[in-house]
Structure 1
Amino acid sequence: MKAKVHVTLKQGVLDPQGKAVQHALAALGFTGVGDVRQGKFIELDIAEADPAKAKAQVEEMCRKLLANTVIENYAIDLEG
C-alpha cells in the first residue's frame, strides 16, 4: 500500500520559505501571486494490506517523526 503524506504549516505560523518563493516569483515577473505557503510531501510504501491499520501506522509516524504537530498539519492519502 502506498501512503502519501502532505505536511503544511498551520495558519498563523510564519513561513519564511513561502515568503522567499513569493518574492522570487514576483522578481521573475509572475504577478497576481498572493500568499505562498510551503510544505513537504512524503511518499511511503507500507507493507500493510488493511487500510485502517495502514492509516493508523502512518498517523503514528506523523505524530512521532514526519510532522511537528505543534506547528504543522498533515493529511494522509492511501492508495492500493
Structure 2
Amino acid sequence: MADTTTAPASGRVILRRPAQPSPRPAPTSEYARAYMLRIARQLAERNAARRAARRADLRAKAFELVAADRIGGAR
C-alpha cells in the first residue's frame, strides 16, 4: 500500500498514513447479498400484486356469470 506524507519534507517528523485510509465497511459479498434480497423483495411484491389483481378479475367475472345466470333463469 502506498504511503502519503502529511508533513513537509523539510521537517524532522514525517507522519505516514495509508493512501487508502479505510476499507469498505462490509465485504463485497454482503453488498451482493443485500442487493439480491432487495430485488427478490421487489419481485415478490410485484407478483403478489399481480396475483391479487388476477383474483379480483376472476371474482368479478364469476359474479357477472352468476348474475347473468340468475337473470336468465328467472324467466
TM over 0.5: no
Q: TM-score, normalised by structure 1?
A: 0.21
Q: TM-score, normalised by structure 2?
A: 0.23
Identify the structure with the greater strand proportion.
1
Rg bigger for which structure? 2
